[in-house]
Amino acid sequence: MKRWFVLRVGTNRENTLRKQLWNRVQTHDLQEKISQLLVVTERVTEIKNGQRKTVERKVYPGYIMAEIEVDEETGKVPPEVWHVIRETPGQIKFVGSPDEPDKPQPLGADEVEKMQQQLARLQAEEPGKVNVDFEVGERVRIREGSFENFEGTVEELLPEKGMVKVSIMVFGRPTPIDFESWKVEKVES
């Protein structure tokens, strides 16, 4: 019976340690006991300082998900798997019960279902949703275009379009106008 476990690793070392661990699994011929090692990520497009960049962001920083074949009778991780994981350089630890730190706890069925739904959603999502780095009510300045150097207040965020609705004063009246988020910058207080 296969169960999902969570492995705690150093933040920003997830991919490196996943590769190291997978190499050790193959070296010890344990692919049937550890079938999957996942670092769950999503693609996000960020716009900072006028630059649009698509980055891969970890959904669970500092964690690797591992699908492990457990002992049918006891439900425990086999000793050879335990040894390979614990002896992989880089401080990989099972997430377990706080009372018994050396007893790994598998994810519950609802947690596994939630993780798989999230993975399916992330894979189905169009790559590169835009991450708009502003907040409603924030003061901003227009960087270019017809309203260059105008200041206004963010009224609405439109991340699916990469746009920001800003209320600026035009002919003495507040006027909401949509701008591409890279054309807008925060006003320093």
- The reported pLDDT for the residue numbered 127 is 54
159 compared with 137, residue with greater pLDDT: 137
Percent of the chain with pLDDT over 70: 87
Q: Which CATH superfamily is domain 2-130 in?
A: NusG, N-terminal domain (3.30.70.940)
- The pLDDT tens digits of the residues spanning 75-130 come to 888 889 988 988 888 888 888 766 665 678 888 888 888 888 877 777 666 555 55
Comparing 12-16, 22-26, 128-132, 140-144, the range with the smallest average pLDDT is 128-132
- Mean pLDDT value across residues 48-69: 81
Q: Which CATH class is domain 134-186?
A: mainly beta
Matching residue, tokens 């980055």: 55
Residue 69 has pLDDT above 80, yes or no: yes
CB 124 within 8 A of CB 145: no
Contact partners, residue 42, CB within 8 Å, separation at least 6:
56, 57, 59, 122, 125
What is the strand order of the sheet 129-131 is part of? Answer: 51-58, 41-48, 129-131
pTM: 0.64
66 compared with 73, residue with greater pLDDT: 66
Domain map of the chain by residue range? Answer: 2-130, 134-186
CB 58 within 8 A of CB 41: yes
Encode the chain in three state secondary structure. Answer: CEEEEEEECCCCCHHHHHHHHHHHHHHCCCCCCEEEEECCEEEEEEEECCEEEEEEEECCCCEEEEEEECCCCCCCCCHHHHHHHHCCCCCCEECECCCCCCCECCCCHHHHHHHHHHHHHHHHCCCCEEECCCCCCCEEEECCCCCCCCEEEEEEEECCCCEEEEEEEECCEEEEEEEEHHHEEECCC
Q: What is the chain's Cα-based Rg?
A: 24
